A and B are shown apart, each in its own frame.
Chain A
Amino acid sequence: DAGVTQSPTHLIKTRGQQVTLRCSPKSGHDTVSWYQQALGQGPQFIFQYYEEEERQRGNFPDRFSGHQFPNYSSELNVNALLLGDSALYLCASSLVGADEQFFGPGTRLTVL
């Protein structure tokens, strides 16, 4: 049983560009959450998707948007990249109503 998978593993972009990160949840999970983890910090919640709808959102600007597909996979899009967007982006999946979230290995984004 594959766990949470994310692609790509690493990504280098320049300021002003746009990026799309992808996540496939653990088999049987229907809820996907995205987090940003800056170096030396804990993850910060970006948003959560359930039934293809954004269910809750953290304190991130509208440059951060997402999508969930009918197969529960998800994308995170970031527009107009800033140097400060450089971070590890983590995807976590869960079953709605369950206590545990399972994390993927993350995508490391570097903005130059």
Chain B
Amino acid sequence: QKEVEQDPGPLSVPEGAIVSLNCTYSNSAFQYFMWYRQYSRKGPELLMYTYSSGNKEDGRFTAQVDKSSKYISLFIRDSQPSDSATYLCAMGVDSNYQLIWGAGTKLIIKP
């Protein structure tokens, strides 16, 4: 069993829909949780990070962490075609040490 599980998709939704992306993990020592966006042939770009349970909002993006269930989510409101990319969750015990990554979910927003 992988430490971090993420559905690879693809997930295809119409423009304007609310998108929900999820990861589960098995290591209860993880304290830092991050969401990255990766466009084709580019490096990952940090979208959001959090180190506590609960919700964190930034514009159209909301990150949610449930440590009791070992489950994290990223919600995207008013999705746009430009949001089409692969979304990777990453987590770690210490934010400045190695991150353990999910495989990424490919998201397609249809105009």
Residues of A within 8 A of B (CB): 4, 31, 33, 40-45, 48, 55-56, 58, 90, 92, 94, 96-106, 108
Q: How far, in whole Å, are A44 and B3 apart by their CA atoms in the complex? A: 12
Contacts of B97 in A (CB 8 A): 48, 55-56
Closest to B98 in A: A45
Interface presence of B90 (CB below 8 A): yes
Number of residues on chain B facing chain A (CB within 8 A): 25
Q: Are A56 and B88 in contact (CB-based, < 8 A)?
A: no
Question: Would A42 and B43 be within 8 Å (CB), given that A48-B98, A98-B96, A100-B49 are in contact?
Answer: no
Binds A, one of B12-20, B54-62, B66-74, B100-108: B100-108
| Complexed CA–CA distance, A23 and B98 (Å) | 18
Contacts of B101 in A (CB 8 A): 42-44
Chain B binding site: helix, strand, loop or mixed by DSSP?
A: loop
Which of B43, B51, B99, B100 has the most chain A CB atoms closer than 10 A to its own CB? Answer: B43
**Bound Cα distance from A104 to B38, whole angstroms:** 11
Taken together as a complex, chains A and B put the C-alpha atoms of A42 and B8 apart, in Å, by 10
Are B95 and A99 in contact, with the CB atoms below 8 A? yes
Which A residue sits closest to B92, measured CB to CB? A45
B residues near A92, Cβ cutoff 8 Å = 43
B90 / chain A contacts, CB cutoff of 8 Å = 42-43
